[in-house]
Amino acid sequence: MVDIKGEVTAACEPVLMSAYEAAGGGATSRLVLNFGGLEYMNSGGIGMLVTFAGPGQPAAPAARAYGLSEHYREIFELTRLDEAITIYDNEESALNGAVR
């Protein structure tokens, strides 16, 4: 699991990749992203997440997220990022893969 805190911008890519590797990298079968501490995300951050979790990328196909505010849930849906990163309501459902 990777806890997202503060701002997510394109400049965060090295930090996200480092956290991904610390969480098990390619040896893990799924990656859970906790957005509960997210304060701000811009288009560069969204693009970075698409690059990171899109088809054929390091976290694909099992990237999961929870803790998104309603605003960022809408952004994930509008940008279709929710197709690459499955959104869950809470940590337990994200970890267990329960239906959203």
Question: Average pLDDT of the chain?
Answer: 84
Q: What's the rounded Cα separation, in Å, for the pair 91 and 79?
A: 23
pLDDT digits (tens, 9 = 90+) for 43-70: 999 888 887 776 666 555 578 999 999 9
Q: What's the rounded Cα separation, in Å, for the pair 87 and 52?
A: 16
Query: What is the value of pTM for the model shown?
Result: 0.83
Q: What share of the chain is helix, strand, coil (3-state, %, to 5)?
A: 45, 25, 30
Q: What's the rounded Cα separation, in Å, for the pair 71 and 69?
A: 5
pLDDT score of 91 more than 80? yes
Structural tokens at position 86: 């499955």
